[in-house]
Amino acid sequence: MAIDTPYFLSSYEDYAALADAERYEVLDGELVEMSPSPTRRHQYVAQEIFSALRAYGRAHGAGEAYMAPLDVVLHAPRPATVLQPDVLFVTRPHADRLTDANVQGPPDLVVEVLSPGRARVDSIRKLALYARFGVPEVWFVPADANRVDVLTLGESGHYGAPRSYEAGGVLQSSLLPGFQVEVATLFPPA
């Protein structure tokens, strides 16, 4: 949801100067308020995916996983673009993008656990930004389904049709060789 009066920022410094910056993302310069506190299900799913990615990264020396809030600063000519995906993974070859304050450049993988009030922003506006800045893989977890949709960036600069992984299946990533997790383990018990 955008704030009542559109507010535009031209740089990360403008964003960082906000007293409550962690409550917002910046989509092509537009300050957009994040959802209220996430639901228990949202947090459960994000934590389980983070845990699986972190374990994979450590076991294979493949990279590092992080959870929101952590700013991802996507560089382009102004206006500013600052996102906070629910979970992100940066591969070892791109470790130089990790700073103490934020991620400077696109992560290799982002995960958005969709909330009903922000699903449109995450699945349309943010997906377009992820494509523009070259995020190779995006995972969407719908709010009302025990499913993970994996989108891979094609050579055309657009994401192809999602590969859907449902409870009972095993989630895999073309970006992370050998990564596997049982989908059912990512969701709270019924």
What is the average pLDDT across 117-141?
89
Higher pLDDT, 171 or 21: 171
Within its chain, how far is the Cα of 120 from the centroid? 14
Report how far apart, in Å, the C-alpha atoms of 15 and of each of 2, 22, 29, 45 are. Answer: 15, 9, 9, 28
In the predicted structure, residue 107 carries a pLDDT above the cut 60 = yes
Under 8 Å CB-to-CB from 9, ≥6 apart: which residues?
15, 26, 29, 31, 79, 80
Per-residue pLDDT of 17-65, as tens digits, reads 776 666 777 887 777 777 667 889 999 999 999 999 999 999 999 999 9
In the predicted structure, residue 76 carries a pLDDT above the cut 70 = no
In the predicted structure, residue 167 carries a pLDDT above the cut 60 = yes
Instruction: Tell me the domains of the chain and their CATH numbers.
Output: 36-186 (3.90.1570.10)
Beta-carbon neighbour count of residue 83 at 10 Å?
27
| Residue 143 to residue 158: CA distance in whole angstroms | 24
Within its chain, how far is the Cα of 82 from the centroid? 11
